């Protein structure tokens, strides 16, 4: 297969983990005889510094023409504590999602047997947890009408029927391919937008009779996730709730550095870690490349290249089992491997497989 990939490395640890993702992609393509080519685009604080825009038109063009985007991270502390900044790196990420129509963000939460003890939750609770959070990504408060002056501010949480229907459809379809259990997460006891979500979900559920559909308020879902994470198979929710719940979900796995995601919709899909740019770690070769590398696995799987994806997953599992780990998940007194060393070990594993 010919693959044209846009690489958006962004800020902070982005470029370091991006390089590992590219190396893994090259190794897999070589092994399976795929032709891969790359185009690099700037985004985030890096692009603000260079051209004053966190998602320049040229980057959009590069993404639009590609088969897939491998994205890393954006964000820089110089913007974080300045609420009056006119332009922020995160706007680049939001612009990318909106302009590419990436309405469905798939965030798998899974555990790794050898890392169960790294979760702040009891190992017996998290063992076997394996669910998908399907987060709506181009609507809700993130994109609704906003207003801010010195005395008043608001964000509008607006959803239309077509927006809700298309994301619920993604949820039902994933549930069909998995354990056939869908949890619709909302706040229908308080929010009108949530009541419309629930109404539409109830209309659609009979079309998927094999799927057990249940409805859960977001506060309850947040509790259930840490009380009984194995309860969930597929959850589907609006943009803001999904943002919050997936950070919580990363604690089940034990490190934010382990979780990949896929954003799909109308145009080029984007594959990215769920973590941010961790500016404090920039250049230190300590960031975990696994979330980025598993994003590459999701990229292959998106194109039904499942053996390729499976080999990456096998290599990642082997690296963890062999204690080839970045510092935040290394065993006590274990050798600490850097971003590059973990990446290289995984590349070698794939090459020699």
Q: Would you name the residues annotated as active-site residues?
A: 142, 187, 219, 243, 247
Which residue spans within 225-344 are E strands per DSSP? 234-237, 260-264, 270-273
CB of 225 to Mg ion, least distance (A): 15
CB of 72 to ligand IPM, least distance (A): 12
Q: Which residue is nearest to ligand IPM (CB)?
A: 90
Positions that interact with Mg ion (CB under 5 A)? 243
CB of 25 to ligand IPM, least distance (A): 21
Nearer to ligand IPM, 55 or 208 (CB): 55
Q: How does DSSP assign 88-121, residue by residue?
A: -HHHHHHHHHHHTT--EEEEEEE--GGGGGGSSS
CB under 5 to 8 A by kind: which of Mg ion, ligand IPM, none does 93 bind?
Answer: ligand IPM
3 state DSSP class of 57:
helix
CA 35, chain centre distance (Å): 26
59-268-232 Cα angle (round to 5): 120
Euclidean distance between CA atoms 159 and 141, whole angstroms: 9
CB of 276 to Mg ion, least distance (A): 7
Positions that interact with ligand IPM (CB under 6 A)? 90, 93, 243, 274, 276
CB under 5 to 8 A by kind: which of ligand IPM, Mg ion, none does 90 bind?
Answer: ligand IPM
- Which uninterrupted H or E stretch holds 25? helix 14-32
Nearer to ligand IPM, 136 or 341 (CB): 136
CB under 5 to 8 A by kind: which of Mg ion, ligand IPM, none does 23 bind?
Answer: none
CB under 5 to 8 A by kind: which of Mg ion, ligand IPM, none does 22 bind?
Answer: none
Nearer to Mg ion, 11 or 243 (CB): 243
On whether the CB atoms of residues 200 and 165 are closer than 8 A, the answer is yes
Residues whose CB falls within 8 Å of the CB of residue 190, separated by 6 or more in sequence, listed in order = none
Euclidean distance between CA atoms 100 and 5, whole angstroms: 15
Nearer to Mg ion, 256 or 320 (CB): 256
């Amino acid at each position: 297969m010919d693959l044209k990939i846009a690489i958006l490395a962004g800020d902070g640890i982005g470029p370091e983990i991006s390089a590992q993702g590219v190396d893994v992609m090259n190794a897999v393509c070589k092994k399976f005889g795929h032709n891969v080519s790359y185009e690099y685009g700037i985004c985030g604080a890096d692009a603000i510094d260079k051209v004053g825009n966190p998602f320049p038109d040229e980057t959009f063009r590069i993404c639009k023409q590609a088969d897939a985007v491998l994205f890393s991270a954006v964000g820089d502390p110089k913007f974080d504590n300045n609420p009056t900044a006119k332009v922020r790196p995160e706007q680049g990420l939001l612009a990318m999602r909106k302009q590419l129509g990436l309405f469905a963000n798939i965030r798998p939460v899974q555990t790794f047997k050898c890392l169960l003890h790294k979760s702040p939750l009891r190992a017996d609770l998290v063992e076997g947890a394996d669910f998908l959070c399907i987060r709506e990504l181009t609507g809700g408060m993130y994109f609704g009408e906003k207003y801010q002056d010195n005395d008043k501010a608001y964000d509008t949480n607006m959803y239309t029927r077509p927006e809700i229907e298309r994301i619920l459809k993604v949820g039902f379809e994933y549930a069909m391919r998995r354990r056939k259990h869908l949890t619709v997460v909302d706040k229908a006891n308080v929010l009108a937008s949530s009541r419309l979500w629930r109404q539409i979900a109830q209309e659609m559920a009979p079309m998927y009779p094999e799927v057990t559909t249940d409805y859960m308020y977001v506060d309850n879902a947040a509790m259930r996730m840490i009380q009984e994470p194995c309860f969930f198979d597929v959850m589907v929710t609006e943009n803001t709730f999904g943002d919050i719940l997936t950070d919580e979900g990363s604690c089940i796995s034990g490190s934010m550095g382990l979780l990949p995601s896929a954003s799909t919709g109308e145009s080029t899909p984007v594959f990215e870690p769920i973590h941010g740019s961790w500016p404090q770690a920039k250049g230190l070769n300590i960031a975990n490349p696994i979330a980025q590398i598993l994003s590459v696995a999701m990229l292959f799987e998106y194109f039904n290249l499942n053996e390729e994806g499976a080999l990456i997953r096998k290599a990642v599992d082997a690296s963890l089992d062999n204690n080839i780990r970045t510092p935040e998940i290394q065993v006590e007194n274990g050798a600490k491997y850097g971003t590059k060393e973990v990446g290289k070990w995984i590349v070698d594993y794939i090459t020699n497989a």
